[in-house]
Amino acid sequence: MEGTIKPLMVPWDFTQVAEYALEHAVKIAKIDGNPVYLAHLAKKKDEVGKLKGILDVYAVEAFKKFNIKPKVIVKPGTIFTGIGEIADEIDAEMVVMGTHGMVGMQKLTGSWALKVIVNSKVPFVVVQSPPLDNNFEHIVFPVDFRKEDKEKVNWLVYLYKHFNSKIHIIKTEKSDRRLHRGVTNNILFTKKILDQRHVKYDIITAPGKKSFAKETIDYATRINADLIITMTTKNIGLTDYVMGADEQFIIANSAKIPVMCINPRVGLTTGGFAAMGG
């Protein structure tokens, strides 16, 4: 990002997927020199000192491994609100978080990840496995009828500029005239911004035989995508957590493709982040 270089935050729960998240954060941080934070929420206040000591030791080991020494934050609290609060406190660029996917009973883990994400103002990059390389070569960008899709475009430009990515826009077809018009307007908006920033892209129409979320994953898997960018649902409810909103399905995709989740911001219509000059 041009201008201010903000930190990347990794929620740390002492699991293998947290280690994967740190590897992805390091990959991103080495582009602009972002500081990296490891953040842990302690169940009890009197555990904070001990846990911080453990994380301090790990930070030293991480420096030996990645040549980047993460800063450490440990606070008492719950993951559902605490992660977002810490991200606000350090003015994080984004949160890079590990998750275990959605297989059998682990579906609850997928909903857990979504509940954490929607309680934050900053984007999340959710990962299930270590990075395969040091680049986001292929990025899939699903576009539907929601106005919130416009908020994703500046992040797309940011990633393109930093990783020289190939952008694959996948759109859904809607028979309803109003929804079709929404998709068309979002595509036109996206093309306008990308053309202005000289971003290369292609546009693919989903077959429409499955849900748009499933067809997005199918396409991303077919091209060996390195990242999918999605928008979370406004005012997500209990039914979405239990039954699975589309973004929950995308976040916990079986192909283990990293997913950037952007939360809609109230009153923001052209989206992204101001540093892109939008």
Q: Per-domain residue ranges for the chain? A: 8-98, 138-276
pLDDT at 115: 76
User: What pLDDT score was predicted for residue 101?
Assistant: 56
Of the candidates 228, 261, 277, the one whose C-alpha atom is nearest the C-alpha of residue 122 is 261
pLDDT at site 247: 74
From the first residue on, what is the mean pLDDT of each consecutive set of 10 residues in the chain (278 residues)?
80 92 94 94 93 95 94 92 93 91 42 74 92 87 77 86 92 86 91 93 94 94 95 54 61 91 58 32
8-98: which CATH topology? Rossmann fold (3.40.50)
pLDDT at 1: 45
* pLDDT value, residue 175: 82
DSSP for the chain reads: --S--PPEEEE--SSHHHHHHHHHHHHHHHHHT--EEEEEEESSGGGHHHHHHHHHHHHHHHHHHHS---EEEEEES-HHHHHHHHHHHTT-SEEEEE----SGGGHHHHHHHHHHHTT-SS-EEEESS--SSS---EEEEEE-S-GGGGGGHHHHHHHHHHH-PEEEEEE---SSHHHHHHHHHHHHHHHHHHHHTT--EEEEE--SSS-HHHHHHHHHHHTT-SEEEEEPPTT--HHIIIII-HHHHHHT-TT---EEEE---TT-SS-S-GGG--
pLDDT of residue 83: 92
| Shared fold status for 8-98 and 138-276 | yes
Amino acid 265: pLDDT: 58
Residue 90: per-residue pLDDT? 96
CATH number of 138-276: 3.40.50.620
Which pair of tokens denotes residue 222?
A: 């077919």
Do 259 and 268 contact (CB within 8 A), yes or no? Answer: no
For residue 53, the model assigns a pLDDT of 96
